[in-house]
Chains A and B, each alone.
Chain A
Amino acid sequence: MSAAAGPRESAANRAARLLRWYPRPWLDRYGAEFTELLIADIADRPRSRARTLDVSRGGIVARLADAGLTGGPVVPARAGTASARASLGALACSGAVFLVVGAALWSQLTIGWQWSDSAGTPAALATTVTSAAMIALLALALTAALPVLLAIAANFTRQLIIPAAVLVTATTLLFACGRHFGNGWPGTGGHRGLVPGGLAAFEWATSLSVSAYWAHPGALAAFPAAEVAWMAASPLLLAIAVLAAATLVRRAELPPRLLAFETRVGLVACAVMAVFLAGCGCWVATGGQRSLFHAGVIDVAGVALMALALALARQAARAAGCRLAPAGR
């Protein structure tokens, strides 16, 4: 091995790390030549934060384009229905973000509803609309998930073992811990049930991480340690579960008819999400009016985040539909 092999090997390792930002189809087409350019650039500029930022930005843009979330011919098309599956994976991720943030806002409304004798008109309207929309979204999520799980089970391959195992483990932990921490639901004992208490408690527990308490460490320190740990771990578990589900959808050879069905369910879910968002927007815009329904900065931020997630989900669903059209249904 020559004396120059050391630095080149080190540069190649750094280039390989930077390449992780890019999606597989982009790497298949440009990976080798891009690696050579990075190695030469690292030799010219051994330390460059601008290069790291530029490459990571380019990789994110390529991943968004690969999922159909942005326009522009940045990434070569995947073969067959793989592009549509990538879009559906992005739809699942965006939908999950919407559901978690939405669950947090909805929990606040249901708790207020449980304890108040009468809600003001905006809060009552928001609680009713978001409750109906939340139940519809959960039903749609089940409608979307069941046929995919059946199709995956019918054609299970070795490359699905790891994401399937991760998904089962993460969802089991989420369910078990969600049920456990749901016992501390502040709505217990309230006198006005709008939705089943178990469902409201579970949603409250799984969305505890969406909280303004993160900005107040002193108040957070008064919480039981296990609850704070759950607040920190639950979004991680959710992210792992959603990414595992998206990986399963991307890797599994799902028939085009099923993907078309999933796309239609996704578009219906986007419409329901818009209704949910309108309900929350109505509540937040009025500030909640009564103390139990008070809407704070975290709720305004939540509505903004849900609007972004909805826009991404809708774009992903539309991209999936466009990408499936040439494949033939």
Chain B
Amino acid sequence: MPKGKSDPGDGKGLAGFGRYAGPATLILSSLADGAKHGYALTKDVESFSGVRLSPGTLYEALARLESQGLIEALDTDDRRRPYQLTAAGAGALKAHLDAQRRVAEVGLRRLAGNWGTA
């Protein structure tokens, strides 16, 4: 790959993914459950999020995640190559989801306080 793999401890996580952060989060969340190939990833992401990742978008995100060392391809004789989460990827996903949870908790608390909904 053209760029060196990022240090798992560099703390950048998904911050540098820009508009690919959404697909990247979905892919990492899916792989947290175990290794999957492209089509299995698409179906799994669709089942838990309702979002169907189109093939071009999926592989753009996979290539970025792989080049950053957040996922890795497994050796296989099958043409459908599976990918698995790396330790750096697990750390980046946890940091990202923790940040999202903090935002969600603040939003829900304010909704409950001012609008009576939660």
Contact = CB atoms under 8 A, between A and B. Distances in A.
A50 B56 CA distance: 10
B4 to A, nearest CB: 9
B55 A54 contact: yes
A41 B42 contact: yes
Given A37-B58, A57-B56, 4 more contacts: A33-B80, A36-B38, A37-B38, A51-B55
15 contacts: A33-B81, A34-B55, A34-B59, A38-B55, A41-B39, A54-B57, A55-B56, A56-B56, A58-B57, A73-B3, A73-B64, A74-B60, A75-B63, A76-B1, A77-B2
Contacts of A26: 63
Interface residues of B, number: 22
B68 interface: yes
B37 interface: yes
Contacts of A51: 54-56
B78 to A, nearest CB: 8
Contact of B56 (A33, A36, A54, A76): A54
Contacts of B67: 73
A30 B64 CA distance: 13
Given A32-B79, A73-B2, A54 B37 contact: no
Interface of B: 1-3, 37-39, 42, 54-60, 62-64, 67-68, 79-81
Interface in A62-82: 62, 72-77
A30 B54 contact: no
The B contact surface, by secondary structure, is helix
Given A50-B54, A54-B55, A55-B54, A76 B60 contact: no
Contacts of A287: none
A73 B38 contact: no
A35 interface: yes
Nearest to A48: B54
B2 A37 contact: no
